[in-house]
Structure 1
């Protein structure tokens, strides 16, 4: 479980700067992806060409973000889904997913996002999740709460587990997905229902907004979860991985207090952290 760290007033100017940079980068990348998607992009054309277009948009969005970060924070490190990786010398590292929900984007489904986080010593200081098709911008600064635009967010009160709405995601590797389906099959009778949106960043933001009671997924990378997990925590959610451990590539769990603990225990029992 990730503990909520107290705010450090001496960091306020730095956090303000990081937030401003992240918000602008996410806004610009979101607009590029929204406005640059070809109207006739679809999966029925050929096997490769629609995917190539999406890949081009993904890379273009990451380049826009990395160029923006290099201009405003040239000494920071960077870790991006599309291969950007730089150490930096400032102690700040940006963790970027320029297009979380690629398959949704390919199919013209609205659930995709730009996810940008700034970390120091492995702890997220700032997180932004931009969802252009909803016209929503989520952001959080560690110690200052989570926000959707100008509205401060708070997770839902904890329901009984059998009334909890939980989201998850599935890997694209067949063997991994098969075990994930088995875990979902065992979990489904114990909760209100399970949702699968196709974007981890959106799901984590929706936990923060009170639209979900819990979320879990195996196989998330740092860029998938960094911004959304901070937003969820700052709204009052708990996040972690296996019991007693942090969120990791093996397992990420988020939920309102009361649901989180039960969900984490069940996922451990079901072996959700392995194939």
Structure 2
């Protein structure tokens, strides 16, 4: 993948992050979407506008799938996947656990991903078969093996039934990890896994833009990613486990399939 493409994707993510920082802490109108917990704000839309403007200007022939807009189909084999503000609920509450995420796919394969944390000036990126990086330095998952010392994150769709969420989360808690968490910014969770800060993430059917950027980042950092039943994962499969690849992974599979 050309360095120019990576550079522009980073610039786009940082530009979006600038809009996120600009509106953080302000009083913003909530624009409802599918459920009470699923909404957008001016920050989401302004971040998206900055990102799309940069990417479409540099790559006018590419398709664009972004969270807050209709799919822009240019008939290309290449598609940008964009989450302009991953963690809108956190943002609205004044909790700076958010990110801006951008990925480039060719057909069914993710080639490049960028995840930017605007509040700590952390820019993660990954290249297919080229590794994962944080602010230019290579990162890898850790190799912690003890479940009671690990941290496991859980993320799901806004439309996941409450009893299903409760069941999934209780199975994770029953493993007695150091911490089970659900922090509503999946791309940030992926970044923590890829940089060795946590040990696993469990996903139950989130939207495409919630996991495509992070999947590549985790995989290129050495993460093991499988379906819940342990079978081989596919790029667009949305029910999966990503972990540091130690025995923790098998224990999570066993717990989720009780």
TM-score when scaled to structure 2? 0.88
Segment drifting more, 143-152 vs 164-173: 164-173
- Please name the residue that 1:117 is paired with: 103
Is the 2:14–2:116 contact (alpha carbons within 8 Å) kept by the matching residues of 1? yes
* Change in CA separation of 1:120 and 1:261 when aligned onto 2, cut-off 3 Å: farther
Structure with the bigger percentage of helix: 1
Residues 233-244 of structure 1 aligned to structure 2 (within 5 Å): 233-242=219-228, 243-244=230-231
Cα distance in 2, alignment partners of residues 85 and 201 from structure 1? 21
* Change in CA separation of 1:106 and 1:21 when aligned onto 2, cut-off 3 Å: same
- Secondary structure of the residue aligned to 1:204 is helix
- Please name the residue that 1:36 is paired with: 23
- Please name the residue that 2:42 is paired with: 56
Is the 1:241–1:248 contact (alpha carbons within 8 Å) kept by the matching residues of 2? no
- Secondary structure of the residue aligned to 1:84 is coil
1:134 Cα deviation after fit: 1.8
Give the counterpart of 2:249 among 260, 264, 269: 260
Is the 1:118–1:124 contact (alpha carbons within 8 Å) kept by the matching residues of 2? yes
Give the counterpart of 1:160 among 139, 146, 161: 146
Aligned residues: 248
Runs of 4 or more off by more than 3 Å in structure 1?
49-54, 170-173, 247-250
Cα distance in 1, alignment partners of residues 105 and 5 from structure 2? 10
- Please name the residue that 1:99 is paired with: 85
Is the 2:207–2:238 contact (alpha carbons within 8 Å) kept by the matching residues of 1? no
Cα distance in 2, alignment partners of residues 210 and 129 from structure 1? 16
Q: Deviations over 1:172-197 (max 9, x none)?
A: 44x61332112212321313320222
- Please name the residue that 1:182 is paired with: 167
- Please name the residue that 1:23 is paired with: 10
- Please name the residue that 2:35 is paired with: none
Q: Does 1:88 align with 2:77?
A: no
1:69 Cα deviation after fit: 1.2
| Structure 1: gaps of 5 or more residues | 1-11, 43-48, 271-275
Q: Does 1:228 align with 2:214?
A: yes
Structure with the bigger percentage of strand: 2
TM-score when scaled to structure 1? 0.83
Cα distance in 1, alignment partners of residues 116 and 41 from structure 2? 19
* Change in CA separation of 1:68 and 1:133 when aligned onto 2, cut-off 3 Å: same
1:105 Cα deviation after fit: 0.5
1:162 Cα deviation after fit: 3.5
Cα distance in 2, alignment partners of residues 222 and 18 from structure 1? 21
Cα distance in 2, alignment partners of residues 219 and 82 from structure 1? 18
Cα distance in 2, alignment partners of residues 216 and 233 from structure 1? 14
Is the 1:240–1:247 contact (alpha carbons within 8 Å) kept by the matching residues of 2? no
